[in-house]
Structure 1
């Protein structure tokens, strides 16, 4: 359990082959409701892997548990070694190879930070090769809901060009890091002075946050093609 209602799960393909995907993509898990009706849920891949070395074997996802949810029942009942049916990868919420920006603003809430975890090896290469700067603004209500927080803080401590800024709307951690902020991520944006020239922003998570941050970034002059969005909605 990454948080009281978020679980990290690791799978491997049953044919023994690696899963070739671009960080930021997602898979769809297929299952049936109790009445037999087919349904599916989408989960961003959380796997941290250097794709310059080829595809990796692990298939990692973060699952939000929703009370009474059919997908929650599916994952809660899983034991080690059991199987699920999935398809993919899908999606285009990825770092673009032709980007010539100076900085990435990565903004997320809840499990919306999952794709950013998968992007860490790519970001490391971009910081090394192009001198790119990265700011990750992560919104959570309380410290215990900051999923993958230790991964991001460790990465920030190792890379001067990567800044990890957790924003807590309800409760601050004890002995908070200097980059911790109180409030919502969209309200913290102004501190980092988004620039029309040089910045590309990624928004992922709560739809209200995505909409508010999108409007804030447009207000700072960012062109719409430089604001890339993916909304996460908890489904039962």
Structure 2
């Protein structure tokens, strides 16, 4: 049974015009034991008192080599008129929210023997990949796995956690960060920046069913389009792991 616990806000910052990074600590003195790729649920009430909940992938990197502590970090997209958006907008440092978890199986499998991971995301769907970075580094160092992160956004300002991914790519030659911009390229794009939707970039990566495993997270239309394309490239359903993000009011 999932654990229920209070979280206290200790800091926040804007990642994009409509996405906020929130950092919490558990307010019961316990640590949150989770696997990168999992999510928590935030429990609250609508104005009429009806209980509801929202799910948020954990962005936390629990690895002392990365200089992080036992914080609980999430990225929240603000939806106009959304009840959860109103909750987080009104939340100040030191205040509590009630949560449960962790949940989910959108995680790396230690039994995988693939040569490459293709990680694909749009919007806040990239959040679980940030949490996976320490684990990916271990896999790259221990068995030489290559990793491509293909991240779709409208423009550079919507490319959340970009500093983390650019730095990780700089420090780890086996990690390729490939942003794909649907509206416009940045003024000084990297060599791996592309224009168009993420599914349009798959041919360049030449997915191979013999040695690739893909993860898809974000907009449901993107997830469905990439899923069908990857099957055509020869990836089995077992080697295409999916999580869809649907905005709720």
Residue deviations 1:47-105, cap 9 Å, x none?
0122899x952100000000110000000000000000000000000000100000000
Residues 198-209 of structure 1 aligned to structure 2 (within 5 Å): 198-209=211-222
Which residue number corresponds to residue 84 of structure 1?
Answer: 97
Which residue number corresponds to residue 104 of structure 1?
Answer: 117
Which residue number corresponds to residue 72 of structure 1?
Answer: 85
Residues 102-181 of structure 1 aligned to structure 2 (within 5 Å): 102-181=115-194
Change over 3 Å in CA distance of 1:51–1:206 after alignment to 2: farther
Give the Cα–Cα distance (whole angstroms) in 2 for the partners of residues 155 and 82 of structure 1.
Answer: 33
Q: TM-score, normalised by structure 2?
A: 0.92
The alignment yields a C-alpha RMSD, in angstroms, of 1.4
Give the Cα–Cα distance (whole angstroms) in 2 for the partners of residues 89 and 79 of structure 1.
Answer: 24
How far the C-alpha of 1:124 sits from its partner, in A, is 0.2
Is contact 1:165–1:179 with CA below 8 Å preserved after alignment? yes
2:241 aligned with 1:228: yes
Pick from 184, 207, 232: which aligns with 2:197? 184
2:219 aligned with 1:216: no
Which residue number corresponds to residue 13 of structure 1?
Answer: 26
Larger proportion of strand: 2
Structure 1: 5+ residue stretches without partners: none
Q: TM-score, normalised by structure 1?
A: 0.98
Is contact 2:62–2:70 with CA below 8 Å preserved after alignment? no
Give the Cα–Cα distance (whole angstroms) in 1 for the partners of residues 224 and 65 of structure 2.
Answer: 34
Is contact 1:19–1:56 with CA below 8 Å preserved after alignment? no
Give the Cα–Cα distance (whole angstroms) in 1 for the partners of residues 65 and 164 of structure 2.
Answer: 21
Which residue number corresponds to residue 58 of structure 2?
Answer: 45
Residue deviations 1:105-130, cap 9 Å, x none?
00000000000000000000000000
Give the Cα–Cα distance (whole angstroms) in 1 for the partners of residues 226 and 121 of structure 2.
Answer: 10
Give the Cα–Cα distance (whole angstroms) in 1 for the partners of residues 228 and 242 of structure 2.
Answer: 12
How far the C-alpha of 1:16 sits from its partner, in A, is 1.4
Other structure's SS at 2:184 match? coil
Give the Cα–Cα distance (whole angstroms) in 1 for the partners of residues 65 and 116 of structure 2.
Answer: 22
Give the Cα–Cα distance (whole angstroms) in 1 for the partners of residues 205 and 64 of structure 2.
Answer: 30
